[in-house]
Each structure stands twice: as C-alpha cells, then as structure tokens.
A and B are shown apart, each in its own frame.
Chain A
Amino acid sequence: MTTMLSTTGLTVTFGVNKAVDDLDLVVEAGQLVGLIGPNGAGKTTTVDAISGFVPCRGEVDFLGTSMTSLSATARARAGLGRTWQSSELFDDLTVLENLQVAAEKISTKGFLRDLVNPRNDDVEALEKILASVDLLAAKNQLPTELSHGQRKLVGVARALAASPAVLCMDEPAAGLDSTESLELGGRIRSLVDGGLSVLLIDHDMGLVLTVCDVIYVLDFGRLIAKGTPEEIRSSPAVIEAYLGGGSDA
C-alpha cells in the first residue's frame, strides 16, 4: 500500500493551549481512516492544519511531498480535498455552480477566453456526481433552498468535484439523524471502494466504528489510541475518555 497522507509531529498551538499535540497520522491508499474524540479533542483543528487553514508545526506530507509551506489553495489543487462541518456552501451560486467552482481551474488564457466566449465544460461529470448523492434535481437551486442534510451532501459533492486523491471529511454526519447518518456511511464506504482515500472525522463513535478501516482517537489534542474498530472498542483509554469524563458518551 502507498501512503497518501501522513502527519509527523503535527502540533497546533492557540495561545498557551495545545489544540493538537504531536500527532502522527497515516492514511494509506484506498483506506477509510476515522479520527474520533470527544468535543474539543482537536479533530477539526487537525483537519484545518492538514488543509492549511491553521498555522502548525510538524510535517504534513501528501503523496510523498511536503505540504507544510503550501497555502490552503495549493493543497486543494494538489488533490487534498476537505469538507466542512457547517457545509460552508457558496450561497450565491446554484448547486451545480458550487461544484463547478471546485472543478474548474483558472488561468489567464482561460480568463481572456471567458471575456469573449464563456463556456461551461464538464457539466456531465458534475451531474454524475450530483446524481450519486441524489441531488441532480436540485442542480439549479440555491443552497439556501435545500434541507440541512441536502446541504451537507452538496458540500461532499463539491469536494468530490475537484477529484481529490484524499478527502478529509469534517463531521459529515453532524446534525443528521441515525438513519441518514448510516446512509451517509454507506455512501462514504462506496466512495472508498471506488478508490478514494478518506479521513473521516466525527465525535459520534457509531458511524466511525461501522465503516472505518483504521481509527485514531484524540483526547485533549493527544492521540490516545489507534487501531481497527475492534481494537478501539476494547481500548481502556478510549472507554476512559468517552465514559470517564461523565455521562456524555
């Protein structure tokens, strides 16, 4: 197996607090890797650091190249995709246009051509992506007209439109009910079966334990466990982190 994405000694500091502390994480090709932890464990910060939205120390390697000095845009263009917990859609653009933004690469020549003759290429490929999440009918709607669950799916579809090699998904199941959540899990699994490598972040263990190949568990920014779903289920450190602190299992 080839390593798609890895972090070495990843550390993010906010003031005196270490939100992420010395994290080593590996996503192999075709793997669905889960990253879980209680609220405030540093999961989203990890994704922000990997995708270039938070300054960090340590190394982020993607397809064998260091991403550490690259901007968020450059990382995205290199094929390191991400989704957002709160969708963060472009509300002024239609669903299809949201996908187009991610799929298109801009160039000076392209801009000059656009001035005279604006064209829309590759819409079929994007429609195929929309169809795969049952949103083809909504392609000309604005994101504000969609339900919460649909907006989340548009966020995923937009990330897929950029044809990433690795996709970091930040709590795609947040705000979904358990049926929707399981359905989403199935969709993510089929993406991975189609060759995509995924880093899936969630604070709810249910989804992650069902679909992931490898799971990392964070608590207070530190890695407390790593392994297959079975290993994680029986890890005393994980049980302590989730149950020891109180009743919010």
Chain B
Amino acid sequence: MSRYLQRWTTPRGIAAQVAILLGVALAIVILISANQTQALVLGLGAGALIAALALSITLNYQGSGVVNFSVGAMAMYASYIYFGLRTDGKLFLPPIPNPLALIEGVVHLFGAPGFRLPAFPAFISVSNGGSTSYSYGAAIKTAAMSAPEAMVIALAECAVLGLLFHLLIFRPLRKAPVLAKVVASIGLFILLQEIVVLRFGSDAQTVSPILPQHPVSLPRGIHIPSDQLFLTAIVILVTFLLWGIFKYTRYGIATRAAAENEKGSLILGFSPDFLAGVNWVGSTVLVGLFGILIGPINQSIDPYTVTLLVIPALAAALLARFTSFSVTVIAGLGIGMASSWIQYITNQSWFPKVGGAALPGLSDALPFVIIIVVLMLRGKSLPTRGSIETIKLPFAPKAKRALPSTALFTIVAAVLLFVVTPDWRLAIVNATVGAVICLSLVVLTGYVGQISLMQMALAGMSGFTLSKVADAYHIPFPIGPLLGAVVAVGVGLLAGIPALRVRGVNLAVATFAAAMTIQSVVLGNPAWSGTNGASVAPPSMFGVTFGPNQPWSKIFGGGKGLLPNPWFGVFCLVVLALLILGVVNIRRSRTGRQMLAVRANERAAAAAGVSVSGTKILAFAISAFIAGIGGALSGYRFGSVTADYFGAVPSMLFLAFAYLGGISSVSGAVVGGMLVAGGISTMILTSWLHVSDQYTLLIAGTGLILMAIFNPQGVAGGIRELSHSLQARRHAKRGEQPEVELQEVSS
C-alpha cells in the first residue's frame, strides 16, 4: 500500500494524477455542454501565458535557486516596451537616479519647489513615425513601427534586462537566504510595475493584433480564435525545446546538476554562474514573448492583470516541483482553461448568487485550492535539517530593557502626535499600524522561519469581521476587534495547515495564493464588502468615540481642530506597545526558544522533544492574531476595509517592509512600520525632500533590492551591528576588554 502511494507521489505520479483528473473533467464537460466546452477552450490563451510564466519560474529556479515572483511583472513590462515601440516608435526608459536630484532636494528644502534641473529622458525615439507628444491615448494610432521590428527590439531589451537582473541582483544573492531572494524578487515586481505606471499611467491601453485572429471552427458549433491556438502551439513547442535541451545537451544536464549541487555543473565544465545567467536571459525573453503576444488576445494591456498571473503560474510550477517542464505546461494550460470555465459557470443562472450577482473571484481561488490539494496529496514530510533549501535568517536578539525603552518610545511618539502637523500625525498613525503588521511577521517569519505573504489579507479578514459584527450585531468596541483577530487566527490556521508539509518558498507561494483568494472572494466581493469596501464604525468606549475623524479638544492651541484625532494615535501606540511586550516575552521564554530551535533545525528540534508542527501552528496563530489586531486598527484608521489595501500585493509589500526593517527583531518591526507606504519614510520623502508621491513605491522597490543584497540583517540589525562595533572601538581606545554582549552579536 505505502509503495503504491509512494509511486503516486513522485513527480511523474502527480503528473499522471493531474492528467487523469483533467482528462476526466474535460470529458465530462465536453459531453455535457457545448457552451461549457466553448468557455474551456477560450481559456487556452491565458493558459498558455500562465504556462510560459511557470516555465520561466522553473528555469530561474533551476538556474539560480530563485523563485521569481516578478515573472508576471516582466511579461507586463515587455508588453509595454512593445506597445511603446509599435504605437509611437519610442523606447521608454526607467527613471534613472539623477545625481542632480540631491541638489534639487536641498534647494526644495529651502522652499523653491518650482526649481528643476535637467533630467534624464523618459523615452528614446527609435522610429520617426510617431508623433512628438508622449501622450498615450486609448485609441489605436497609426503604427509607428512594424510588429516584427518592435518585437525584436522588445525581446532584445528583455534579454539585456534578464542579464542585468542576473548580474546586478540575483548573482550577488546566490548564497543569500531564500527570504532575501524572495524579497529581491518582490522588489523587482514593484519596481517594474511602478516604472510602467510612471511612464504610461495605470489605465489600460489598446494594442493592435499580432497573431492572425480568425475564428477556427470546431465540431458542435464551438469556435476558437486562431491567435489562442497559435499561442498554445508556441508554448508547447517551447516546452519540447526546453525538454530536449535539458535532457540531451551538456548545458541542460549541467543546469540540472547545478540545481542539485553547484559542483555538479563544474564537473561538466560549466560555471554555475554562467548557467544562471543564460537561464535568466532565456526565461526573461520567454516571458517577454508571451507578454507581448497575450496583449492583443486580452484586447488591452494594463500594469496589473498579467503581473498577478504569477500566482496561478507559481501554482503550476509548484505542482511540477519546479522541475518537470511537461507537468508545468499541462498545469498552466489547465489552470487557464479551468479559470475561464469557472467564470462561465458562475455566471449561469443556476449557479448560487450572492446579493443577486455572480460570486466573484472563484477563479482566483483556483490556484490556492490546487496548491492545497497537491500538498495534501504529497503526504506528510518528515523533519529535515536546515539547509540551503530552507532559510538562514538574521540573528534574533533578545530585547534588553524592553519595558523602559518601549514605554519611552510610546510616550515620545504620543507627545509628537499632539505637536506635529496633521499629515505627520497621520504618518505616525500609519507607521504604528504598519509596525503591528510587521510585528506579526517577526513572530512567524523572524522566529520560526515561515515565510508568509498573506498577513495583510489576514488583517483584512479581521477588519471585515469587525465591520460586519459591528454592523449586524452591534458588538461594542473591545470585543469587535478581538473577534476580528480570532477570525484572522482561524483563516490563518486554515491557510497555514500546508505549513506543516512545506517550508521555505513553497509556503510563501501557498500563502500568496491564499491572500489572492481572500482578496477576490471576500474583500473584493461587492455583495459583501460594497463597492468602496466594508465600512468600519469608529471605536467607542464609555460613551467616548475616539476614531481618527472625531475632533478632539485642542491642547496646544492652534486652530486646526486636531484632525486626525491624536487620541486615536495614542490608542494605536498603546496597542502596539502591548503587542511588542508580548512578543519580547515570547522571545525570552521557552516558547521563543522552541520557535528559534525549529527555525534553526527542525530535525534536531524534534529530537529535543519539540513539536515542530505544534510550534509552527502556534506561531501561525500568534502571528494571525497580531495581524488581525493590525487589521482592526487599519479598519478604524480608514473607516473601511478595501481589497486594494488588504490584498495579495500589499501582503507581499508588508513582508518586504518587515524584512527591510529587520524581520527577526521587535525593533525591526518598528522600523518596518516607519518604512511602509504612508509612514514616516513617505513623509520624509514627500515633505522634506519634495519627492513626488509617484516615486515613493519606486524608491521602496529599489530599496528592497539593495537591502536584500547589502544588508540582509535589515535596518534594525544594521544599527545593532554598528552600535556594537562602535562600542568595541570605544572600549579598545580606553584599553579595556570590550564588554561582550553575546546575546546581541550577530552569528
């Protein structure tokens, strides 16, 4: 029996299962209804793109051990390169850091906001066919360049970009922890998306057809546009090509060897570095090609849709264990077709409706469901030792003098709330709420090493619950947020169950898919959350309402009425302080020691009598609870809970900010909170340096990449190290033995 099961859990076995399941599903659908079959085949185009993205993910993983969260963004970026060339004959450039900007910043500081020095160009004219204006209207213009020309240039740029990504970002990260690679690819995701938004705006652009678009008739009146067929054929061709290369050429064999052990490729005469570079170029060109070709099939391009297809693509790649090309492509095509079919059936009259409308987002939930099912099928994994596959995280120090420093920090921040201008006050509130979310990641990722990309979605679930219980059952203030946090714990555990079977980056993928599901099915559902998000009533206790928009009596004079209400900020600060002290105590206690033991070495932890799964579940619960409290605070802060603010991408951003601050220490969470969008760092950029709002995310993305490469300890860790080296130097000067504080010296 167990041998039978074993055979079914090999990659080939899973491929067979997937093929059988898909085959059966397909047969049923085709037998039942021609309309459903039509819906199914219309998903081929999207399926081909998902398959291509998944292939690229697999190539990157094989070549350099990076699970690239930015493949969708790369495909999207390529489609815009092509679009710019084809419609206007112009190649757009990313904003290049301008050394003159520093001078400009200083001048602005002294109040001359109109002052502008020459900047780098935004576009290079490649063909003279385009108009001189840089505006990109929705209407199709007369093409400035032929499709093949534009495509060749765009793909050439993709090749260059792929090489640059390898050389500048992922080669320096070759020996870095998995988390650093994940964060760098998140940074790249943000960077690519923001560059496009900056150059073209966030509205959709219409693109002209590339592949022939005549309907091909199939039996029973089913039609399929020929471009989708072409795209599918291309992806299958690419798969065969890759399969051949990896099976029969020395290059491919060396890459496979390098994925196992870098020495393997050296024996075959290839440097792992060269292989990684080639795979980066190849995979970027591949996603670029499909990004360009999918545009006309979707009828338009925008900075978001294709970017987020990374989630189903990751599901497909995970299904194939980041190794098998054939399973990847079958899974990718299958997900694309199934999504299209789900969209069709949810719109049918017989399908259950919510508030009179079709339940949205079910197709977005598909990757998550697939991931969970696959992880369940693969059976329980035994504890293994920590290796390159898992994560080596920054040192997690025990906080010293936590009570006085937390109290001091809280009091200073609280006093600031009453004396600063309203936008700074709002920034302090944003930073406080952000720090709470980052703190939830300190417990889960910092202490136990489980990468979660769903913290904001959990926060959103809590805020959503808070909104609903206050609305429907008039549950008063302290109970509402606690109830919300409990719901977040429930959802967190539900999505965290696969954590017991996977670790490292696979868990990141699973939680990312979970966040997308929560975003689409719950928070983005107009029937449940309204069109502007679920509204949250301000907190109130003993007849006093202290929401951010309740004016409070002025304390330090001034006629501003003190909005947002500083007392709301104080409330947030007190909550943060309590949570901080709780987390500090966890780190000091047996619970924290067991968490760090699991993080360091699961096998040895089990042998020491620590329940590895129990510790992970506990961490998931604590983390979800903290995130839930953060969600409730956020809900109060905005007065509503929206899918935009609590979705998958914000969840991803928060992991990145928490990492940037210092993911394994409480002080890192506070720094992370200051860095979040709308926090202290945003205020410094916009109000002191007069950097335009639109650049803040761009700077954040760049910062993430740089930080992942140069300072994996995070800002807080960096400061800690610096203070230690200064301390050591001071002692050395006095001729004393340095007071060794082993608890805080980095390992």
Kindly list chain A residues whose C-beta atoms are within 8 Å of the C-beta of B385: 88
- Taken together as a complex, chains A and B put the C-alpha atoms of A82 and B608 apart, in Å, by 8
- Taken together as a complex, chains A and B put the C-alpha atoms of A142 and B596 apart, in Å, by 13
Interface residues on A, range: 35 or more
A118 touches B588 (CB 8 A): yes
Residues of chain B in range 570-610 having any CB-CB distance to chain A below 8 Å? 582, 585-586, 588-594, 596-597, 599-601, 603-610
Residues of chain B in range 60-81 having any CB-CB distance to chain A below 8 Å? none
CB distance from A126 to the nearest CB of B (A): 12
Taking A90-B600, A101-B594, A118-B585 as contacts, is the C-beta distance between A76 and B608 under 8 angstroms? yes
Kindly list chain B residues whose C-beta atoms are within 8 Å of the C-beta of A82: 607
**Quick check: is B135 within 8 A (CB to CB) of the other chain?**
no
Residues of chain B in range 547-570 having any CB-CB distance to chain A below 8 Å? none
**Quick check: is A64 within 8 A (CB to CB) of the other chain?**
no
A51 touches B601 (CB 8 A): no
4 A-B pairs with least C-beta separation: A114-B589, A118-B589, A88-B604, A102-B608
B604 touches A92 (CB 8 A): no
Taking A76-B606, A104-B593 as contacts, is the C-beta distance between A88 and B601 under 8 angstroms? yes
The residue on A at minimum CB distance from B2 is: A55
Taking A101-B594, A106-B594 as contacts, is the C-beta distance between A144 and B606 under 8 angstroms? no
- Taken together as a complex, chains A and B put the C-alpha atoms of A118 and B582 apart, in Å, by 10
Flag A94-115 by CB within 8 Å of B: 1 or 0 each: 1001101110111000110011
* 19 extra interface residue pairs, beta carbon distance < 8 Å, beyond A72-B382, A140-B742: A55-B2, A72-B383, A73-B609, A73-B611, A82-B607, A88-B607, A92-B600, A92-B747, A93-B593, A100-B590, A106-B590, A110-B591, A114-B591, A115-B582, A115-B585, A118-B588, A118-B592, A142-B742, A142-B747
B585 touches A76 (CB 8 A): no
Q: Could you list some 21 contacts between A and B, CB below 8 A?
A: A53-B603, A76-B607, A84-B607, A88-B607, A90-B600, A90-B605, A92-B395, A92-B747, A93-B593, A93-B597, A101-B590, A101-B605, A104-B593, A106-B611, A111-B618, A114-B588, A114-B591, A117-B585, A144-B747, A158-B608, A162-B609
- Taken together as a complex, chains A and B put the C-alpha atoms of A104 and B609 apart, in Å, by 9
A73 touches B610 (CB 8 A): yes
**Quick check: is B98 within 8 A (CB to CB) of the other chain?**
no
B596 touches A93 (CB 8 A): yes
CB distance from B737 to the nearest CB of A (A): 15
The residue on A at minimum CB distance from B449 is: A92
Flag A124-148 by CB within 8 Å of B: 1 or 0 each: 0000000000000000111010000
- Taken together as a complex, chains A and B put the C-alpha atoms of A82 and B396 apart, in Å, by 27
Most buried by A among B591, B592, B607, B747: B607
- From the candidates B590, B597, B606, B609, name the one contacting A114 in the complex (CB within 8 A): B590
Kindly list chain B residues whose C-beta atoms are within 8 Å of the C-beta of A51: 607
Kindly list chain A residues whose C-beta atoms are within 8 Å of the C-beta of B674: none
A53 touches B382 (CB 8 A): yes
**Quick check: is A226 within 8 A (CB to CB) of the other chain?**
no
The residue on B at minimum CB distance from A161 is: B608
Most buried by B among A72, A77, A110, A142: A72
Flag B393-432 by CB within 8 Å of A: 1 or 0 each: 1011000000000000000000000000000000000000
**Quick check: is B743 within 8 A (CB to CB) of the other chain?**
yes
- From the candidates A91, A97, A119, A159, name the one contacting B593 in the complex (CB within 8 A): A97
Kindly list chain A residues whose C-beta atoms are within 8 Å of the C-beta of B612: 73
Kindly list chain A residues whose C-beta atoms are within 8 Å of the C-beta of B606: 52-53, 71-73, 76
- Taken together as a complex, chains A and B put the C-alpha atoms of A115 and B578 apart, in Å, by 10
- Taken together as a complex, chains A and B put the C-alpha atoms of A88 and B385 apart, in Å, by 8
Which residues of chain B have a CB within 8 Å of any CB of chain A?
2, 382-383, 385, 393, 395-396, 582, 585-586, 588-594, 596-597, 599-601, 603-612, 614-615, 618, 742-743, 745, 747
- Taken together as a complex, chains A and B put the C-alpha atoms of A94 and B590 apart, in Å, by 13
Which residues of chain A have a CB within 8 Å of any CB of chain B?
51-55, 71-73, 76-77, 81-82, 84, 88-94, 97-98, 100-102, 104-106, 110-111, 114-119, 140-142, 144, 158-159, 162
Kindly list chain B residues whose C-beta atoms are within 8 Å of the C-beta of A162: 608-609
B610 touches A114 (CB 8 A): no
- From the candidates B604, B609, B747, name the one contacting A84 in the complex (CB within 8 A): B604
Kindly list chain A residues whose C-beta atoms are within 8 Å of the C-beta of B588: 114, 118
Kindly list chain A residues whose C-beta atoms are within 8 Å of the C-beta of B605: 90, 101
B607 touches A72 (CB 8 A): yes
B589 touches A119 (CB 8 A): yes
- Taken together as a complex, chains A and B put the C-alpha atoms of A97 and B396 apart, in Å, by 13
Kindly list chain B residues whose C-beta atoms are within 8 Å of the C-beta of A93: 593, 596-597, 600
- Taken together as a complex, chains A and B put the C-alpha atoms of A89 and B611 apart, in Å, by 16
A141 touches B603 (CB 8 A): no
Kindly list chain A residues whose C-beta atoms are within 8 Å of the C-beta of B600: 89-93
A106 touches B608 (CB 8 A): no
Kindly list chain B residues whose C-beta atoms are within 8 Å of the C-beta of A88: 385, 601, 603-604, 607
- Taken together as a complex, chains A and B put the C-alpha atoms of A76 and B602 apart, in Å, by 13
CB distance from A86 to the nearest CB of B (A): 8
- Taken together as a complex, chains A and B put the C-alpha atoms of A118 and B590 apart, in Å, by 8
- Taken together as a complex, chains A and B put the C-alpha atoms of A71 and B500 apart, in Å, by 14
A104 touches B594 (CB 8 A): yes
Kindly list chain A residues whose C-beta atoms are within 8 Å of the C-beta of B593: 93, 97, 100-101, 104
Kindly list chain B residues whose C-beta atoms are within 8 Å of the C-beta of A100: 590, 593
- Taken together as a complex, chains A and B put the C-alpha atoms of A133 and B589 apart, in Å, by 25
The residue on A at minimum CB distance from B395 is: A92
- Taken together as a complex, chains A and B put the C-alpha atoms of A163 and B601 apart, in Å, by 21
Kindly list chain B residues whose C-beta atoms are within 8 Å of the C-beta of A141: 742
Kindly list chain B residues whose C-beta atoms are within 8 Å of the C-beta of A101: 590, 593-594, 597, 605, 608, 610
